[in-house]
Amino acid sequence: MDLGLTNKIALVTGASSGLGLAIARELSQEGAHVAMVARREDLLQREAATIAAATGHRVLPVAADLTHKDEIDKVVQFVEHSLGPIDILIANAGGPPSTTFDSTTDEQYLAAINLNLLSSIRLAHAVVPEMRDRKWGRVIFLSSMAAKQPVPGLILSNTARAGLLGFAKTLAAEVAKDGVLVNTVLPGHFDTDRALELAKMRSAREGKPIDQILAARAGGIPLGRSGDAREFAAVVTFLASDRASFVTGTAIQVDGGQIAGIT
């Protein structure tokens, strides 16, 4: 299946590891030129070089902290100057720490909202106007299953990521007539460094072995296992493609069937 991604310019944030890295790799394999953004410069450069060598397409590593608005503007300008106008935005950010109501501070709420909501909003403001002018664009926000089904111990993520769904749905309706499609993808449990980090936090909080935490997590997934990042990247890449030309305003969970609700 030709996804129509050859020579498209994609900006992927949080791209040095985990789901973001898998998405950058998949897009490059489908022929897109990819700008990979993350804070860890050495790791980012190594991963970008590996992808470029494997696919033969342009991969641009850009080290930046997108919790700062001025950094977002600089990144977008640099990518447009280096690769061309951005056709695809994959807005992905690492999750906030595991906390509960009793243990969460005002500063932690503000940091989580800045990281998991405002950074995505600012990225959209930076790239969507030109997409509308060109009458083609894809904006895909990575959220979490917690946005639909709150996860115990993740009050920060549950709060900030649910807000992103409301923003994405509103944006999708406003820009659809201009050929810009906006969707949100909600990962469940995947075998990533972030998943292990959360398991360690829960292990320390509850006094349970990490293996027990991970086994219980997998046991709550109807498929009986955590996901592989490549499985998630395949869904995102489809949404970024020409083949998803009538899909917008959705919030799609990729969670092995874990979310219990029907919406």
Q: Which DSSP helix (H) or strand (E) runs through 51?
A: helix 41-55
Q: Within a domain: residue 56? A: yes
Write the CB contacts of 206 (distance below 8 Å, at least 6 apart in sequence).
Answer: 213
From edge to edge, which strands make up the β-sheet containing 251-254?
Answer: 59-63, 33-38, 9-13, 88-91, 137-142, 180-187, 251-254
Determine the average pLDDT of the residues in 41-53.
97
Does residue 153 lie within any of the structural domains? yes
Is residue 24 one of the residues assigned to a domain? Answer: yes
Residues 100 and 209 placed together within one structural domain of the fold:
no
Let me know if residue 58 belongs to a domain: yes
Q: Summarize pLDDT for 150-203 with one digit per residue, the tens.
A: 988 899 999 999 999 999 999 999 999 999 999 999 999 888 777 777 778 778
**Shared domain check, 221 and 106:** no
C-alpha–C-alpha distance, residues 248 and 173, integer Å: 8
Based on the fold, state whether residues 89 and 209 are members of the same structural domain.
no
Q: Which residues pair with 37 in a beta bridge?
A: 13, 62
Residue 51 belongs to domain spanning: 9-188+228-253
Do 197 and 123 share a structural domain? no
Q: Over the stretch 57-95, which tens digit does the pLDDT of each residue have?
A: 999 999 999 999 999 999 999 999 999 999 999 999 988
28 and 97 belong to one structural domain: yes
pLDDT of residue 202: 77
Amino acid (one-letter) located at 253: Q
pLDDT, tens digit (0-9, with 9 covering 90-100), for 214-223: 787 778 899 9
Instruction: Count up the domains in the chain and report the number.
Output: 2
- pLDDT beyond 80 at 205: no
Q: Are residues 216 and 233 in the same domain?
A: no
Assess if residue 243 is contained within a domain: yes
Regarding whether 217 and 128 lie in a shared domain, the answer is no
Asked if residue 233 belongs to a domain, the reply is yes
Query: Does residue 61 fall inside a structural domain?
Result: yes
Q: What is the pLDDT of residue 160?
A: 95
What pTM was computed for the model?
A: 0.91
Looking at the fold, whether 200 and 178 belong to one and the same domain comes out as no
Whether 208 and 131 map to the same domain: the answer is no
Q: What is the pLDDT of residues 126-155, one digit of tens each?
A: 999 999 999 999 999 999 998 999 988 899
Report CA-CA distances (Å) from 156 to 73, 99, 128: 26, 7, 27
* Phi and psi angles of residue 17, each rounded to the nearest 5 degrees, phi first: -160, 175
For residue 166, what is the domain's CATH number?
3.40.50.720
One domain, residues 219 and 241? no
Is 260 part of any domain? Answer: no
With H, G, I as helix, E, B as strand and everything else as coil, classify residue 203. Answer: helix
Is the same domain home to 35 and 157?
Answer: yes
Examine the domain organization and report whether 67 and 165 are in the same domain.
yes
